[in-house]
Amino acid sequence: MTYPIEESRFAEEVLGANVPVLVNFWAPWCGLCRLIEPLLHQFQRDWGPQVKLVSVNADDNLKLANTYRLTQLPTLILFENGQPVDRLDAIGGREEMRRALNALMLKRLKAFSTS
């Protein structure tokens, strides 16, 4: 389940997490942000405890939006060991996004298994 966080908890919840964290940067006025929400919930169900999914309202957390140089919403950034490792900010249709999210996780699992 997507879990909303604020800037004050970002370091603890994202940068300090012991699993990869997918951060969904969104805004209430963003129609596409609302449309992808069910897809993100399915992604979380599919990958379970292997990834943590959080959401950050970019309008309410401008410092984070600037830090990660958001140019459009939604923007999804995968963090691992406190560092951004992958980013999806040119989100097309739902099927394209589903494939991109699964490819992102498979790439992380492959990198983990070879290290």
Active-site pick, 2, 7, 17, 30: 30
Active-site pick, 14, 33, 36, 40: 33
75: helix, coil or strand? Answer: strand
CB neighbour list of residue 16: distance below 8 Å, 6 or more residues apart: 82
Structure tokens at 3: 């879990």
Q: 16 catalytic, yes or no? A: no
Q: 30 catalytic, yes or no? A: yes
Please list the active-site residues: 30, 33
